[in-house]
Amino acid sequence: MKVISRRKFLGNSALAASLAPLAVGSLTSPFVRSARAAEPGPNDKVRLGLIGCGGMGQGDLECFFLNPEVDCVAVCDIDDARIAKGVEICQKKRNTKPDTVKDFRRVLDRKDVDVVLVATPDHWHALPTVLACQAGKDVYVEKPLAKTIDEGRAMVEAARRHQRVVQMGSQWRSCKHIVEVGEFIRSGKLGKVSIVRGWAYLDWLPGIGKPADGPPPPGVDYAMWLGPAPDRPFNPNRFHFNFRWFWDYAGGLMTDWGVHLINMMLMGTGPDSPKSAYSCGGKFVLDDNSETPDSQVTVYEFPNYTLIWEHKAGLNNGLYNRSWGIEWSGTEGNIILNDEGWEIRPEKKKANLDNQRKPGSPDPRPAHVRNFLDCVKSRQQPVLNVDIGHHVSTVAHLGNLSYRTGRKIVWDAANQKVVDDPQADALVGVKYRDPWKLPYAQRA
Ligand SMILES: NC(=O)c1ccc[n+]([C@@H]2O[C@H](COP(=O)([O-])OP(=O)(O)OC[C@H]3O[C@@H](n4cnc5c(N)ncnc54)[C@H](O)[C@@H]3O)[C@@H](O)[C@H]2O)c1
């Protein structure tokens, strides 16, 4: 089995196909109000404002530009070097020069921005998205939906109140062979699925060392990078890309890869919420100043099945010799899936399923972006709308609540509360540093 690189997991090639929305329900209503005169029609240009032009922002921008109707009118980042990268892509792909800005609120003020792409670190997903909804923009926001569960709720509320199209950027929802697996499992052909496992074993994750604090690089507005996160001196490890290994900004691999794979796992098993989560692990492999565990296992109790998440740094040999993958275990057999395809392994004593291998499909990101653009025009719900994004991100966050408290988390999904555990429940909430406030936050 070939080992997938991070680059391949994130994807970099084009896929023309777009997929029909899974979630139904039109956003068109007599109450739709927008800051613009009208939503873009089928033949109109879609004018994009990019917020966050790092690794993913640049890759997503390239995907948006695969669609001829997209123009980028504004590029926003707190780092001049990153802004320059965004401008370069616009010049190369469209021969245009977007306006540039370091404060994302100036992007939202503009009447010539129809949609915003939010590709900032996780602690900066919620506020730009909520404010964009208030400003009448549609939003493509990277995964995980937010840094905390209550931030996600506020995003759901903002999209609902302002009738916005919001797609979360976990592109695997738009991946042909994963959509097929989901349909196959939900059809019941695998029998009763009682155990689902997802794993990411990643040897490309090196230690990041223990650099000293120091001044931020020139051209960087560090206060704006921190935003609502706690104030602290600049440390190069807590900045671009590696922010994901620090609790102030993100949730480690549990929410980084976890959201992608939990999203795929739930495509097979459906929209139930877990009743509880228990997680353990630690920094057993890496000797550096990162905070999130390099090895972690989380067990979720869903009403009709158990879901198990595993990640580990320092080794690519995961289950079934696959660096990452998913296994649904039913009563008729099991299915193993990764980007290279899926494989049905029938139960030997039964003859209801054939032993089959199905090929993988190309990079799903272009299709995911295309689905978003189609929904911007049709006012239909995208395949990974904000409700589904919130749901799958919540499942991932529950793993970290358990890891961080060292206790089993009992989850009251109806009220979005941890049962009888105020310390864990506090991690569900929104704690922003002044002067930042998140509209619609329940527990601010
Ligand atoms: N869908 C995927 O497969 C995938 C892959 C990688 C990353 N992501 C997600 O994309 C997001 C960004 O990750 P990355 O790897 O690109 O990180 P990154 O650090 O390379 O990029 C983030 C960019 O946001 C900028 N930024 C920070 N605060 C800002 C602010 N207030 N206003 C404007 N810009 C700001 C940073 O300067 C940086 O350039 C993360 O949430 C990550 O989980 C998704």
Atom of ligand 1 at shortest range from CA of 255: 43
Does ligand 1 lie within 6 Å of residue 249's CB atom?
no
Give the CATH fold of the 34-173+369-379 domain: Rossmann fold (3.40.50)
At 38 the pLDDT is 67
Average pLDDT, the chain: 92
Domain ranges of the chain: 34-173+369-379, 175-207+235-365+393-428
Indicate whether 3 pLDDT > 60: no
Who has greater pLDDT, 89 or 204? 89
CA distance 157 to 160: 5
**Could you tell me if 182 and 326 are in contact, meaning their C-beta atoms sit under 8 angstroms apart?**
no
CA distance 391 to 265: 12
pLDDT in tens, 133-146: 999 999 999 999 99
Does ligand 1 lie within 6 Å of residue 167's CB atom?
no
**Could you tell me if 310 and 431 are in contact, meaning their C-beta atoms sit under 8 angstroms apart?**
no
At 93 the pLDDT is 98
pLDDT in tens, 189-204: 999 999 999 999 999 8
Rounded to the nearest angstrom, the gap between the alpha carbon of residue 129 and the centroid of all alpha carbons in its chain is 13
Omega within 30 of 0 (cis) for the link into 211: no
**171 CA distance to ligand 1 centroid (A)?**
15
CATH code for the structural domain at 175-207+235-365+393-428: 3.30.360.10
Q: What does the longest C-alpha to C-alpha distance in the chain come to?
A: 66
Does ligand 1 lie within 6 Å of residue 169's CB atom?
yes
Indicate whether 233 pLDDT > 50: yes
What's this model's pTM, rounded to 2 decimal places?
0.93
Percent of the chain at pLDDT > 70 equals: 91
Query: Rounded to the nearest 5°, which phi and psi values hold at 342?
Result: -140, 155
At 17 the pLDDT is 25
Indicate whether 12 pLDDT > 80: no
**55 CA distance to ligand 1 centroid (A)?**
7
Does ligand 1 lie within 6 Å of residue 54's CB atom?
yes
pLDDT in tens, 247-276: 999 999 999 999 999 999 999 999 999 999
Report the residue among 9, 60, 77 best suited for mutation to probe ligand 1: largest number of ligand atoms under 8 A from its CB. Answer: 77
Element spanning 424, H or E? helix 422-428
3-class state of residue 196 by DSSP: strand
Does ligand 1 lie within 6 Å of residue 363's CB atom?
no
Length of the chain: 444
**What letter would DSSP give residue 124?**
G
Q: How confident is the model at residue 37 (pLDDT cuts 50, 70, 90)?
A: low
Indicate whether 207 pLDDT > 70: yes
> Do 34-173+369-379 and 175-207+235-365+393-428 come out as alike in CATH topology?
no
Strand pairing partners for 341?
338, 359
At 350 the pLDDT is 82
Q: How confident is the model at residue 432 (pLDDT cuts 50, 70, 90)?
A: very high
Percent of the chain at pLDDT > 90 equals: 86
**53 CA distance to ligand 1 centroid (A)?**
7
**58 CA distance to ligand 1 centroid (A)?**
9
What integer is the mean pLDDT of 434-439? 98
Q: How confident is the model at residue 65 (pLDDT cuts 50, 70, 90)?
A: very high
Q: What is the DSSP string of 45-101?
A: -EEEEEE--SHHHHHHHHHHTTSTTEEEEEEE-SBHHHHHHHHHHHHHHHS---EEE
Indicate whether 63 pLDDT > 70: yes
Indicate whether 42 pLDDT > 90: no
